[in-house]
Chains A and B, each alone.
Chain A
Amino acid sequence: GDSVTQMEGPVTLSEEAFLTINCTYTATGYPSLFWYVQYPGEGLQLLLKATKADDKGSNKGFEATYRKETTSFHLEKGSVQVSDSAVYFCALSENTNAGKSTFGDGTTLTVKP
């Protein structure tokens, strides 16, 4: 079945540091890939997505590239801010499974001033 493996957390960075959160996936078909962000006390919000190989999703300074050859979708940001502190989830969705998304376990990011 489908699965998503995320880099284990928690991750603690200083403000303006470079961020990478690794995500790899296993899927039978050609999934769409997503990153969601969950701020404390809130629901998940879609951060960015990519629907086919080599697509790059980007939003709010974050970006991730759909790499079919390495089955990866790593999240990056060049300079993190304290306000980026949150839990980040990688997810995939396959057309064959009624739109159901499979989520990674989440990575908690804390950015210190």
Chain B
Amino acid sequence: DTAVSQTPKYLVTQMGNDKSIKCEQNLGHDTMYWYKQDSKKFLKIMFSYNNKELIINETVPNRFSPKSPDKAHLNLHINSLELGDSAVYFCASSPSGQGGGYTFGSGTRLTVV
């Protein structure tokens, strides 16, 4: 059983399109995250939800909209895709408190052409 699963694994789309990435975790964690990893492997947090409530919303264009229907799911919708959105997007989850560490999904490689 995959602990944090993301779909799709690869996404190639044209500029201007709208796309969604889905994430599900079966670990019973309270908190879920979206991170963006660029071509230099730098990781940048985008959003965090705790029990369906948005708690972290970093400086991200409002074309990006997260949605958490329940604490096991956190989806990311991106409107009007731009070339600069090309990256690998990782979903992660963690238990409450600081000491647990993250469990990451395997990533979604988004390529905007």
Give A residues with C-beta under 8 Å from B.
Answer: 31-32, 34, 36, 38, 42-46, 49, 51, 87, 89, 93-95, 98-101, 103, 105-106, 108
Contacts and interface: CB of A to CB of B under 8 A. Distances in A.
Given A42-B107, A43-B105, A51-B99, A99 B43 contact: no
A34 B33 CA distance: 17
12 contacts: A31-B98, A36-B102, A42-B106, A44-B90, A46-B102, A93-B98, A94-B98, A99-B31, A100-B48, A101-B101, A101-B102, A106-B41
B111 interface: no
Contacts of A108: 41
A44 B41 contact: no
Interface residues of B, number: 26
B45 interface: yes
A99 B48 contact: yes
B102 A44 contact: yes
B55 interface: yes
